[in-house]
Amino acid sequence: MKILLASSEVHPYSKTGGLADMVGALGKALARSGHEAGIVTPLYQGIHERFPALRRMDWQFNLPLGAQPVPAELWSLEVEKGLTIYFIDQPGFYQRAGIYLENHVSYPDNAERFIFFSKCVANLARYLPWRPDVVHVNDWQAGLVPALMLHQRRGEGWGNPPPVCLTIHNLAYQGIFPAAAFTLTNLPEEFFTIEGAEFYKQLNCLKAGIAFADVITTVSPRYAREITTEEFGCGLDGLLRRRQDRLFGILNGVDHEEWNPLHDPFLKHPYSAARLAGKRKNKIELQKEMGLPVAADAPLFGTITRLAEQKGVDIQLGALEEMLSADIQFVLLGSGSVAFERGYHALSRRFPSQVAVQIGYDEGLSHRIEAGCDFYIMPSRFEPSGLNQMYSLRYGTIPIVRAVGGLDDSVIDFSQNAARANGIKFREYSARALAQAVRKALALYQQPGLLRRYRQNAMKTDFSWDQTVDEYLKIYQIAEKINSGQDWRTAGHGP
């Protein structure tokens, strides 16, 4: 099949979180299984310098944003056979220090920036000479693409547009703007209703995507169920329930080329399930790097995260406070909310020989933390898929997770399957419950035989993209059937 993907971030060109990893890996996996994939994304500051092979294409955008025509150029990069990245070059919008924000403040023109991006995606979907069979957009930044395409089908003579699949990576970010921003879409008012893009008199880009896409996916089966409930629905659960027959959950895969402890350029000591000695050496390197006392036998816990409400930072700070009376070490790499950053700094000042905190974004260090720690803590309030717990499993670092969303779908607790257990789960959202899970981890640490079995189980858990790609291909076929008005449920593709 020929698939056009669109995402506001794509690894290795731009990244603030798992969205970039997922889209980058999906494009690669599609190409490697014999399909043709293009990924559209903005040309942010620094990409051109890091990837000099970018080629300018003979393509001029001049698309209206309300009354204002906005020009842009198109650059492309042939990554490998079957995979091309298309970069939208609009310097006024994208050549900035951040992707969505700077100094903790969102750019005031994010509506313009991403409505324009969505318009470029719809334009490419229509005019790219290789004619995609399906368009796969991600998150609110590309959420208006289905409506823009539908409008061109209804009103501008686009005879046979491909179907659109929308993937929700995080329902908490919807792209909500004042109603006036709707004029930037140049869509007729019929799209701005409570059945469509309107949300309490405001423009909601993700809601428009959910309303007009042919199929909707999210990044784990459990999260697909959760978001149809009031508790996790972020105000959109009603719409999602109405569209539940086209809502599917597919757990993200792991890019084994990027995340493989045996071939990881960021590690000094390669290791594998069969040869675990390297893991211990990486632990010592990490303790040195983070300025902690070198203590090969002290249990080392770690977290790499956006410091946001979603990630359970408040209960993690609370649990650590309690657990640091035990002989444990903890490392954190993260950035985000200033209050949370201060919280961790305060902890490291009080427990300098046990807690090391690095605020910022550091890809290499994120790999070394995955490799060097004994346990990985991820106590999210909600977690659509989560990737770090899967990277941890791959690196033999036992994840301690709250049983929600993709965390529940990817980790096996002793209580679920004693023989295959690879992590520790807790349910209640509280510091007390997390501290209890950390105590279980300490008990496990005291039993080297059992710990070794957990590690072996973890490292052989298969999150390869081969299987995930097959699931997306099935969804694309369903989208094609829906788009052409066929009854897809009788065609043997149940959700």
Residues of this chain that interact with ligand ADP (CB under 6 A) are: 17-19, 21, 304-306, 333-335, 361-363, 366, 385-388
Structure tokens at 58: 């003979």
Q: Cβ distance 315 to 388 under 8 Å?
A: no
**Region near ligand GLC per CB under 6 A, out of 141-149, 378-386, 437-445, 448-456:** 378-386
Q: DSSP assignment of 117-149, as one string?
A: HHHHHHHHHHH-TT--SEEEEETGGGTTHHHHH
Position of minimal CB gap to ligand GLC? 18
Least distance in angstroms from the C-beta of 139 to ligand ADP:
10
SS3 of residue 490 by DSSP: helix
Distance in Å, CB of 150 to ligand GLC, minimum: 25
Amino acid type, 319: A
CB of 112 to ligand ADP, least distance (A): 24
Residue 66: how many CB atoms within 10 A of its CB?
Answer: 15
Q: How many helices (H) and strands (E) does the chain have?
A: 17, 20
Residue 14's binding partner among ligand GLC, ligand ADP, none (Cβ under 5 to 8 angstroms by kind) is none
Q: Are 142 and 214 in contact (CB under 8 A)?
A: no
Of ligand GLC, ligand ADP, none, which one sits near residue 475, judging by CB under 5 to 8 A according to partner kind?
none
Nearer to ligand GLC, 222 or 481 (CB): 222
Which of 148, 236, 307, 387 is close enough to bind ligand GLC by CB under 6 A?
387
Chain position whose Cβ is nearest to ligand ADP? 18
Beta carbon of residue 360, minimum distance to ligand ADP (angstroms, whole number) = 6
Task: Please tell me the distance from the alpha carbon of residue 457 to that of residue 461, in angstroms, as a whole number.
Answer: 6
For strands 105-106 and 101-102, give the pairing: antiparallel
- Per CB under 6 A, does 385 bind ligand GLC? yes
CA dist 86 and 84 (Å) reads 6
Query: 178: how many CB neighbours lie within 10 A of its CB?
Result: 10
Give dist(CA 18, CA 35) in Å, integer: 23
**Is 355 an interacting residue with respect to ligand GLC (CB under 6 A)?**
no
CB of 489 to ligand ADP, least distance (A): 31
Q: Which helix (H) or strand (E) holds 217?
A: strand 215-218
Give 351's contacts (C-beta < 8 A, 6+ positions apart).
324
The site map against ligand GLC for 156-185 (x = CB under 6 A) is -------------xx---------------
Site string for ligand GLC, 405-424 (x = CB under 6 A): -x------------------
Q: Which amino acid is at 251?
A: L
C-beta of 90 vs 358, nearer to ligand ADP: 358
What are the CA-CA distances from residue 94 to residues 50, 61, 329 (Å)?
16, 15, 40
User: Which amino acid appears at position 55 of this protein?
Assistant: R
- Told to check if 18 binds ligand GLC by CB under 6 A, we report yes
Selected binder of ligand GLC within 3, 6, 10, 22 (CB under 6 A): 22
Helices (H), 300-359: 313-323, 338-350
State which of residues 1, 2, 17, 436 lies at the interface with ligand GLC (CB under 6 A).
Answer: 17
Give the strand pairing for 202-204 and 134-138.
unpaired
96 burial (CB, 10 Å; 0-12 / 13-18 / 19+) is middle
Q: Which is nearer to ligand GLC, 18 or 396 (CB)?
A: 18
The residue among 361 and 414 lying less far from ligand ADP, judged by its C-beta, is 361
Query: At CA 411, angle to CA 493 and CA 375, rounded to 5?
Result: 155
| One character per residue 203-242, x = contact with ligand GLC (rule: CB under 6 A) | ----------------x-----------------------
Footprint on residues 245-304 left by ligand GLC (CB under 6 A): 252
Residue 348 interface partner, choices ligand GLC, ligand ADP, none, CB cut-off 5-8 Å depending on type: none
Report the residue number, 4 or 378, with the smaller CB distance to ligand GLC: 378
Alpha-carbon distance 451 to 399, whole Å?
12
Cα 169 to Cα 223: distance, rounded to the nearest angstrom? 10
Query: Residue 121 CB, nearest distance to ligand GLC (Å)?
Result: 19
Q: Which is nearer to ligand ADP, 1 or 317 (CB)?
A: 317
Among ligand ADP, ligand GLC, none, partner that 305 touches (CB below 5 to 8 angstroms by kind): ligand ADP
CB atoms within 10 A of CB 231: 9
Under rule CB under 6 A, how many of the chain's residues touch ligand GLC?
A: 14
C-beta of 168 vs 347, nearer to ligand GLC: 168
Using CB under 6 A as the binding rule, whether residue 357 contacts ligand GLC is answered as: no
Binding site for ligand GLC (CB under 6 A): 17-19, 22, 169-170, 219, 252, 383-387, 406
